[in-house]
Structure 1
Amino acid sequence: MTDFDATAYLPDDLLERIRSRAAAVDAENRFPTEDLAELTAAGYLSILVPTALGGAGLGLAEAAVLQQRLAGAAPATALAINMHLVWTGVAKVMSDRGIDDLRFVQTGAVAGEVFAFGISEAGNDLVLFGSDTQAVPAADGSYSFTGTKIFTSLGPVWTQLGLHGLDTTDPADPKMVYAFVQRTDAVETRDDWDTVGMRGTQSRTTVLNGAVAPADRVVRRVAPGPNPDPIVFGIFSVFEVLLASVYTGVARRALDLAVAAAKTRTSKKTGRPYSDDPDIRWRVAEMALAYDGLLPQVAAIAHDVDVLVDHGGQWFPRLSGLKHRAVVAAKQIVDDAMLVAGGSSYFQRNELSRLYRDVLAGMFHPSDPESAHATVAAAWLGPVGG
């Protein structure tokens, strides 16, 4: 990591172009098509694919650094790309552990496929451990999926959707089925993304009407509920690390904007810059202390995933704790940045006002605050009634 040059994958000029489009993407509530085109051309969608397959061969720790950098330019673009990177990251996690079930994701990413993440369902707080989507097997090994997925980022542009559903063909032995479907007439992408922030992700509702995953795209069948299967660990670990990275990047951008504002604003009372005001200095220091604490945590946990460290039952509390901590810290840092910058930050034209709205989305991603606390409490106190 010490020799990793992030600018080789996200050059400054590319980031500035992405940054220059972010406000319009947000205001127009559209997908950042230009960002995706430039990132695809730069090979960014295959950064986690091994070099032997045509990718950059990076690890999760390096991808985390890059996603922080991208989020500092355009949070919604970074969050949307996150969902594609989750699947390429899961493919890497499984391949590193000797399972090549997602090789087609790796080769597909190199070929220009865009993979979306179809896991979230309204009211389904089981997330990976259950599904309201029906998965019905066919004699040829394929599965058809019927149900509704929400928060499907990359809604207008994805070419393959990774999803899960529940196969209840044998009521005594139900199975969670993980598979990939292509965009066909059996998949409806609703144009219903009109949110407070993160508008560029276009995380639209996806309705599955018997969408078929062929046998070679049915990648895993596992028991419902908490499960040690590598696909469950792969999804949870990559998802949480990359989410934490995006919001860490948002926090850094807010901190930078607060520092710039403090240095350029001048007090009428003292005639000195606000950067000399002891209260402002304390507030900026608090922001920096919170931000600095995130960096080693993201790096350490991503590194442990990369090098196959076995944390056993502590993996899930560590991962959910990381995501929760990053989101809470980022939200507080953006709040404080608004105060440092003053009333001008309340105007839509100010970048901080967009970050203020964007950072709110972090609370809704798994693990949400309730789930994170329940997971960590169980790790320290044991199960309720245990």
Structure 2
Amino acid sequence: MINLFIKTESQKAWLKKLYEVESKFKNNSAQIDELAFFPKEHIQDLIRMGYTSSTLPKSYGGGGLKVYDMILLQETLASFDSATALSIGWNLGVIGDLFEQESWSKTNLDFIAGEVLNGALVNRSVSEAQTGSPTRGGRPGTKAVKKGDYWVISGRKTYTTMSPVLTYFLVSAWIEERQKVGFFLLHKDLDGLYIDETWDVISMRGTGSHDLVLKDVEVDDSKLVELPEMPSGNRFNAWILHIPACYLGIAQAARDYAIHFANNYSPNSINAPISQLANVQQLLGEIDLELMKARHFLYSVAEAYDDESRRIHFTNELGAAKHIVTNAAITIVDKAMRIVGAKSLQRNNPLQRHYRDVRAGLHNPPMDDVTIKNLAKLAIEQTKSNLSGHPLLK
């Protein structure tokens, strides 16, 4: 079904590169989950093929991929191995957003572009145990204090995905003297910076989303790269669509397994593959319908965002896309397990892994309740302003 969404020769070329590692990634995925180890070798494969710099603009030497391109590739990658896809998706999204917004100085953008081209990996580190998701507006407990020509940063960050291989951590910290949150670009080898391996969960076990600990880390003023005017959750960032793309890929893998099973399992009670049974066909049809709805919504939102003349009309489409796709993925995997039956609960069956992994999507930003609340608030405000009628009146 994904072939319907391939539009360019560039996309075909990137997909061809990814399919070269399909067997390797799929063969490793069960062990990555079972042992909860980070897939460093997969990430190195992606660095070698230039994938990690694919969302860097061409003017900086990168691949110049847009949001639509990214979700196409990320969905495909996630169907091979979920942990690899979600991990590298953060790097792709951060780079794409940084250079689209151009909120850094030209000097800093030039620097990080050169680093990414040389294989550096970067992710934001913003979540904290006491504040929860930064999209809800909590002030970070991590603090940055100016001492002479240096900043001294201390704190602990949670859910730092891809921490075992990150070169740079883009860390949020509260700056008391400015009464603002700033972002500091911190290299992995700085004194006082270390990883506390706390990641012990049942979903996305291989993402290495450990705690980042900062104890009096000193950096010069140039490493204060962002002083945003608004919380990150209050602006459009379509690069976050790498998240639903990942869960859509997992759902596709579950669907493919269920169909293969249905076509090859022939109990002697019916002397035919169970794919011939009406109830199984009902579930398979419902799975594909869910996939079609989710995929068309996600890709249409990405396509609209990449068109700047349409992007200006965005309201809550990004949150809605994440909500629709992640919840559809949960439904799809559930139906796939109903087809396969109790065998889907065996530890050597990929469906039980897919089932656990798609649940993680509920806890990636933006959260479902925030999306629904925003949709309701917009509908109410539009009605009050008499702007809910013909689009030309808006």
8 Å contact kept, 1:134–1:167: yes
The residue matched to 2:158 in structure 1 has which SS?
A: strand
Alpha-carbon distance change, 114 to 320 in structure 1, aligned in 2, over 3 angstroms: same
Alpha-carbon distance change, 11 to 84 in structure 1, aligned in 2, over 3 angstroms: closer
Match of 1:237 in 2: 238
8 Å contact kept, 2:294–2:325: yes
Mapped to 1, the partners of 2:141 and 2:309 lie a distance apart of 33
Which of the numbers 135, 144, 147 marks the counterpart of 2:144? 135
Mapped to 2, the partners of 1:43 and 1:203 lie a distance apart of 23
8 Å contact kept, 1:46–1:109: yes
Mapped to 2, the partners of 1:161 and 1:41 lie a distance apart of 21
Tell me the number of residue pairs that the alignment of Structure 1 and Structure 2 aligns.
373
TM-score normalised per structure 2: 0.87
Structure 1 position 301, deviation (Å):
2.2
The residue matched to 1:2 in structure 2 has which SS?
A: coil
1:63-114 deviations in whole A, cap 9, x for unaligned? 111000100000011011111112111123224x997553433222111111
8 Å contact kept, 1:181–1:212: no
Letter in 1 for 2:75: Q
Mapped to 2, the partners of 1:8 and 1:325 lie a distance apart of 25
8 Å contact kept, 2:133–2:365: no
Mapped to 2, the partners of 1:202 and 1:305 lie a distance apart of 31
Which of the numbers 165, 175, 185 marks the counterpart of 1:180? 185
The residue matched to 1:145 in structure 2 has which SS?
A: strand
Which of the numbers 126, 150, 160 marks the counterpart of 1:119? 126
Which of the numbers 49, 52, 69 marks the counterpart of 2:56? 49
Alpha-carbon distance change, 7 to 89 in structure 1, aligned in 2, over 3 angstroms: closer
Structure 1 position 115, deviation (Å):
0.8
**Stretch of structure 1 that moved more, 123-132 or 112-121:** 123-132
Which of the numbers 217, 221, 228 marks the counterpart of 2:227? 221
Mapped to 2, the partners of 1:102 and 1:306 lie a distance apart of 21
1:195 aligns with 2:204: no
Q: Mapping of 1:1-386 within 5 angstroms?
A: 2-3=7-8, 4-5=11-12, 7-8=14-15, 10-95=17-102, 100=106, 102-125=109-132, 127-128=134-135, 129=137, 130-140=139-149, 143-170=151-178, 174-183=179-188, 184-223=190-229, 225=231, 232-233=235-236, 236-239=237-240, 241-309=241-309, 311=311, 314-315=314-315, 317-382=316-381
8 Å contact kept, 1:314–1:379: no
TM-score normalised per structure 1: 0.89
Letter in 1 for 2:39: P
Mapped to 2, the partners of 1:78 and 1:146 lie a distance apart of 30
Letter in 1 for 2:247: Y
8 Å contact kept, 1:93–1:306: no
Structure 1 position 33, deviation (Å):
1.2
Letter in 2 for 1:104: F
Structure 1 position 50, deviation (Å):
2.3
Alpha-carbon distance change, 280 to 29 in structure 1, aligned in 2, over 3 angstroms: same
The Cα RMSD (Å) is 2.5
Letter in 2 for 1:134: K
Structure 1 position 13, deviation (Å):
2.8
Alpha-carbon distance change, 212 to 309 in structure 1, aligned in 2, over 3 angstroms: farther
Alpha-carbon distance change, 131 to 312 in structure 1, aligned in 2, over 3 angstroms: farther
**Stretch of structure 1 that moved more, 69-78 or 292-301:** 292-301
Mapped to 1, the partners of 2:369 and 2:187 lie a distance apart of 34
**Stretch of structure 1 that moved more, 364-373 or 218-227:** 218-227
Mapped to 2, the partners of 1:6 and 1:335 lie a distance apart of 33
The residue matched to 1:206 in structure 2 has which SS?
A: strand
Q: Give the percent of matched residue pairs that are identical in Structure 1 and Structure 2.
A: 24
Letter in 1 for 2:173: G
**Stretch of structure 1 that moved more, 51-60 or 241-250:** 51-60
